[in-house]
Structure 1
Amino acid sequence: MAAAGRRHLVRDFNHFITCYLCRGYLIKPTTVTECLHTFCKSCIVQHFEESNDCPKCGIQVHETNPLEMLRLDNTLEEIIFKLVPGLREKEEQQEVEFWRKNQPKENGRETLKCQRFGLPDGGGDGGAGGGDDGDGGDDDDYHRSDPQIAICLDCLRNTGQSGETTVSDLMKRFIRCSSRVTVGTIKKFLSLKLKLPSSYELDVLCNGEIMGRDHTLEFIYMTRWRLRGENTYPMVLEYRPRIDFG
């Protein structure tokens, strides 16, 4: 009967909520779908820079692109934040400070605000990003506290597939949006702007590598753009019709 009233401490759950790689609490817990082992997102991405195997069990995750086999576990993240007091606030503050120091410069009139599919509102009433661009000083007012990032969406042609419907260039390629926007959202945005059929699939690439649907722009910037020595802004993402290698 006494055992029923035993109070559990956070350390009793550490085995389930700490990262195998860094030994700290899981930050943005990300699960490898092939073996269901979970790591901090930044830890597992850095590991996959050198290896295609799961660092815990050694299984080969993917022959060429293990990042495609990663999925964020938002439920586990919420559980960890509830178990560890102050962890959420600490991580959010560190993230805001990082992006404040590393935020790309505005590209003047080429910098546009995305307003569809979850991309933050651009202030104003959703015009085409015309001449009244209030100098970017009031961004915090209508972007909340989301860190912002500038990207350029380029059409990648000559994929070598005959008979494929081609995609065209966007009229306005430069976008400024939340760093938390995912590749899946960018694909929806492209499909809308290019008026593609709902069944039409696109690949989004950075530095020639296909990005997974769940990858955020922050994730791509940290692991593909910044770490590859790219110091130019905005970050360039390319899109093309999906290539079926099967």
Structure 2
Amino acid sequence: MATQRKHLVKDFNPYITCYICKGYLIKPTTVTECLHTFCKTCIVQHFEDSNDCPRCGNQVHETNPLEMLRLDNTLEEIIFKLVPGLREHEVSKVDKSKADEEGDENQDDKDYHRSDPQIAICLDCLRNHGQSGDNVVKGLMKKFIRCSTRVTVGTIKKFLSLKLKLPSSYEFCCLELFSLASLLSGWHFVSVLPDGIAVSTKN
């Protein structure tokens, strides 16, 4: 009885490695014109600069060689079975790539305000007396603030209310903002205002 010969993975290397990168075929993609197979990424990058097959030199297509590519899912499964750990390695690479992309997106969200147009405005106290004539709030230590042009006057009022630590008995509606002697509505955007805003409290 004849004994069966055991084959090593390297015996199949000519059939499961990429001619371009010399590594195992990842997402094996066949050129239908000449039936040569390469990694999908490798052959797509090659066709960015050439219309010829990198192995045999034959022209694949006059204008769009990408039309002549076909994925070989069967060969991919064979390679994964022949090479231990290759599937897991590729899955890990994909997961890491997705995590990096999500991290970049989150970073973009955090840095969004940096690309938003900014404006510097000066907040000055115009009137600061309650019914008893005493000062209701203390003046701001820093009169200048920098904010987005999309910020509304209403948001500035909320900021001042927190920054000045207004007492709970002091109604928020008593805080008014003026620009060039005009009372500002809460829906005004600071982008349409001059640089100076006066803060007033009602008696």
Normalising by structure 2, report the TM-score. Answer: 0.50
- Computing the radius of gyration over CA atoms, which structure comes out larger, 1 or 2? 2
Normalising by structure 1, report the TM-score. Answer: 0.41
